[in-house]
A and B are shown apart, each in its own frame.
Chain A
């Protein structure tokens, strides 16, 4: 099954299970079914609860917040994640605040979906990864779609949290297969330190015996695993990849054993400690990134145990050009990761 189909099924599932659920967005109605076809079939099956809107990102996100305020469930599709900037106020100053600023908890069952990232030559205003701008907002969770996480579970977890979430979906993933990990690697799922979806893990034989630990969101899985394969074949370097579904709040107990709060978490600290290098990889451009937050958390908890500081791999701090040859020079690719691992392991 392709990731797009899995996500589409998740949306069908939400609308089916919850008669107070809405899906809202621009050009999402059949037969068009959304710019990336993720909402295909929804409006035919659930007319009245799947709403094709004017081009009004701020307006429709506020509308979703209004539905959520009344106890309904609202999922907004922002056609290109770049345009979530237009809805920033509604998300940050209204939806996230409303959970707590009235002195009592106001649950908000609300998800803002953002097709994200480059690699398709759409140019500077249609290719960004804006996750970093939503990191550190109290009352707001940031999730990222992954080929290793069932979107149904992720969608349910975001809604069940009762807090608004922004869900970033790397556009390039849509056409990839679910759970596809290149030979000779395998994957499994370890529980997170919170009640949400677990942390997916891709490894060779023993996940705790890797030379290098890589932490990356779902959009990077393809590129990271290809780099891992090349590093194994070319240099016999073993890497273990951890893919959290929820990026923020980032729960360091997912990855370290300090405090050993989470079930199974005790197995992760040793992996980090044993690794000769730890890298955080993301597509967002350099500066003020999610990766900095992750690196900081790990440093704070494990500074003395690490052989070297966590290395960060980002796209170049730049606009994302339209032309393919320029775009690939800016974005994190398989070779960027490959080189960064070699660099981090160099003694």
Chain B
């Protein structure tokens, strides 16, 4: 028997599949920063370190018919949907087997019903169009768009929410509120709250404050099925924490802010929950990613013909 307080402090480890996926994303992102550090990657990248549990917890709540729109911080979203680290790394490194031939890179990935773009706020109106299509052609399916707290600065977000609510579209907006946008704390870029914004448009809002995957799923399952059955847009706001820099080497946060983010890291908490099982899973995923990095780095460059 465990003490109730101990349960609170140490959430149970998720199932193997979830834990493996969490760790896969974590090591994938760490590997990218490492490749940048070594000068082996060009361009830019935005890691989801600390936020991995968001797409992992949503995974069983989204189906193959659902259309997912991701953003600049999208590696976790992609990996949770397809578990294809090799294809994504090849995309980021411009190697053979890249999901989009190396044209899109880290921020612009399109595969089946999954699409990301690097322009903030752009995806939400598009998601309403997709939601309208799904409503008419495959009832029960939804369009899901991931956005950050800072992206609420863009007017397109509001136009989309209004239409989605007005026309009763199956739209799920997942807000990863990590308290910061690039270098700007949320308090310096957002008046009011996400909840009040959703309410103003008659959209449901649910705030997730835990990193416990089981709890999150229990909370969200009925709400997400309401989106499907009643065509009512839903805004799910994850209160989350960005562990790493915005992109790479551009973290100007005070030490305290970073420490505060680290204190919420699921990785540490799960590592304490069942040290042995966690360590084994951790090592397996670290080695898996290292092997993928070696394999992809050795591949020939991707090929693509410019259109035009």
Contact = CB atoms under 8 A, between A and B. Distances in A.
A330 B306 contact: yes
Task: Classify the secondary structure of B's interface with A.
Answer: loop
A27 B42 contact: no
A121 B44 contact: yes
Contacts of A83: 119
Given A83-B119, A122-B43, A122-B44, A322 B154 contact: no
Contacts of B104: 123-124, 321-322
A302 interface: no
B236 to A, nearest CB: 20
Interface string A303-330: 0000000000000111101111110011
A188 B151 CA distance: 46
B181 A123 contact: no
Given A27-B184, A55-B153, A318-B306, A325 B250 contact: no
Given A35-B182, A323-B102, A126 B118 contact: yes
A44 to B, nearest CB: 13
A56 interface: yes
A140 to B, nearest CB: 22
Contact of B103 (A27, A54, A323): A323
A38 to B, nearest CB: 14
B308 A285 contact: yes
Interface stretch (B17-25, B105-113, B269-277, B285-293): B105-113
Contacts of A317: 306, 308
A338 to B, nearest CB: 20
A125 interface: yes
Contacts of B94: 322-326
Contact of A316 (B101, B107, B117, B306): B306
- The bracket for how many chain B residues form the interface is 35 or more
Interface in B168-215: 181-184, 188-190
Interface string A84-100: 00100000000000000
B158 to A, nearest CB: 11
Interface of B: 42-44, 93-94, 98, 101-108, 117-121, 150-155, 181-184, 188-190, 250, 252, 301-302, 304, 306-308
Given A323-B93, A324-B94, 15 more contacts: A27-B184, A32-B250, A32-B252, A55-B150, A55-B181, A56-B155, A82-B119, A86-B154, A123-B43, A125-B117, A317-B308, A319-B307, A322-B107, A322-B108, A323-B302
Q: Top 4 nearest A-B pairs by Cβ distance?
A: A322-B105, A323-B94, A121-B43, A54-B153
25 contacts: A27-B181, A29-B183, A54-B190, A55-B120, A55-B121, A55-B151, A55-B181, A57-B154, A121-B42, A123-B107, A124-B103, A125-B107, A126-B118, A316-B306, A317-B308, A318-B308, A321-B101, A321-B102, A321-B304, A322-B105, A323-B102, A325-B94, A325-B102, A326-B102, A330-B306
